[in-house]
Amino acid sequence: MSEMKLLVVEDDRSVLNLIATTLKIHGYSFVTAMTGKEAVSLCASHHPDLILLDLGLPDMDGIDVIRTVRTWSGAMIIIISARGEDSDKILALDSGADDYITKPFSIDELLARIRAASRRMKFVETLNDENSVFINGDLKIDYASNLVYVKDKEIHLTPIEYKLLCLLARNAGKVLTHSYIIDKIWGSGVDTDIVSLRVYMTSLRKKIRGEEDFIRTHIGIGYQMIRK
């Protein structure tokens, strides 16, 4: 776990200290930045695997930090922000963030999100190509034959449900916004609304739900496959 490198970007010293102390206690290695410029430069020099990013920074907006860093870095980005509006979260996620935590947050939640990010990181490293098999707990997708199994039992999905599942699986752990999903599944400019998406997702979830639920709903924002 401790081989993961983090970058913490936070201009509020008390919050920064809280996060830093928590990371230190749990053996994570990390660097910290209090401005957007510092964050971008540390990201370039230290190649962090995970960035914990505050959005309200003194010199530049966190959204611009995401956009800048995303042009060259594949680091996971978790937003930690007091901006609780859905539109803020959606903008951050669509700009390239992976997940978000709303302030005030609990230390347990922060640690859980970091562990989830670490699992996703390891998982992405083991991903091969289109022909590989996706396994997440009891869920298995055989991309070569387009077959889906839950606990070794074959699940019959419609083509749209299968595309939705594959999209979520390829981005396991990442929160995908409604507009992102609609664009990826139906293409841009297609008039598919969130209500239709919800109908497809409800049916998909029902079919693949075993003892555990694989898909988390972020009300007003989108969906996320939970990395088991």
Question: What is the nearest approach in angstroms of Ca ion to the Cβ of residue 213?
Answer: 34
With left for phi above 0 and alpha for psi between -120 and 50, is residue 55 left, alpha or beta? alpha
Task: Select from 50-58, 100-108, 111-119, 197-205 the region that touches Ca ion (CB under 5 A).
Answer: 50-58
x/- letters, 53..82, toward Ca ion (CB under 5 A): -x-x--------------------------
Q: Which two tokens stand for residue 7?
A: 């970058």
Q: Are strands 99-102 and 50-53 parallel, antiparallel or unpaired?
A: unpaired
Q: Is 138 in the site for Ca ion (CB under 5 A)?
A: no
| 11 touches Ca ion by CB under 5 A | yes
Which range binds Ca ion by CB under 5 A, 5-13, 106-114, 146-154, 159-167?
5-13
Total binding residues for Ca ion by CB under 5 A?
A: 3
Question: Shortest Cβ distance from residue 110 to Ca ion (Å)?
Answer: 16
Contact 73, 47 (CB under 8 A): yes
The residue type at 78: I
Q: Which stretch binds Ca ion (CB under 5 A): 1-9, 11-19, 151-159, 193-201?
A: 11-19
Closest CB 42 distance from Ca ion, rounded Å = 17
Does residue 84 bind Ca ion (CB under 5 A)?
Answer: no
Binding to Ca ion (CB under 5 A) within 159-218 occurs at none
Residue 42: phi and psi, rounded to 5, are -70, -30
Measured distance CA(98)–CA(79) in Å, rounded: 8
For residue 79, list its beta bridge partners.
53, 100
| Phi, then psi, of 224 in degrees rounded to 5 | -145, 130
Binding site for Ca ion (CB under 5 A): 11, 54, 56
